[in-house]
Amino acid sequence: MSLTSHHVPLAIYAPGYFSEGRQINATGSLVDILPTLIGLAGVPYLNTTLGRDLLVERPEEKDFAYIDSIYRGVLDDEFLLLITPRGRQRLYRYRSNSPLVDVKDQNPERAAEMA
């Protein structure tokens, strides 16, 4: 699945905004950088992008990342939903002992929610 080839940490150095370092483990992607930086700057804006401000606390089940390459998909903290160019959906539980097994048939509700 090559998920780790796209794993890029985001570091924000802003001592004027943060008195001490902190680590945020929310799932995010490149589309989240613009809303995060605008939110950090305190500029009021209407977000019409797919991204979200990573510094705003959300319930853990709401963390996800949008993937757009040959396959489109959605990644959360447990599952990866991939959509092939022909529209076929595959669901993988990548944090398991068998991350390459399509588990869509065993988890239809989760696949539908992520789709």
- What is d(CA 77, CA 84) in angstroms, rounded to the nearest whole number? 21
Residue that the structure tokens 């796209």 belong to:
6
Check whether 97 has a pLDDT greater than 80.
yes
CATH of residue 99 = 3.30.1120.10
What are the pLDDT digits (tens) for 40-53?
Answer: 888 898 888 878 88
Domains: count for the chain: 1
59 burial class (0-12, 13-18, 19+ CB within 10 angstroms)?
exposed
Check whether 20 has a pLDDT greater than 90.
no
Check whether 31 has a pLDDT greater than 80.
yes
> What percentage of the chain carries pLDDT values higher than 70?
88
- What is d(CA 92, CA 70) in angstroms, rounded to the nearest whole number? 17
pLDDT attached to residue 2: 59
What are the pLDDT digits (tens) for 49-85?
Answer: 878 888 888 776 666 777 777 778 888 888 999 988 8
pLDDT band at 108 (very low <50, low <70, confident <90, very high): very high
Enclosing domain of residue 9: 3-114
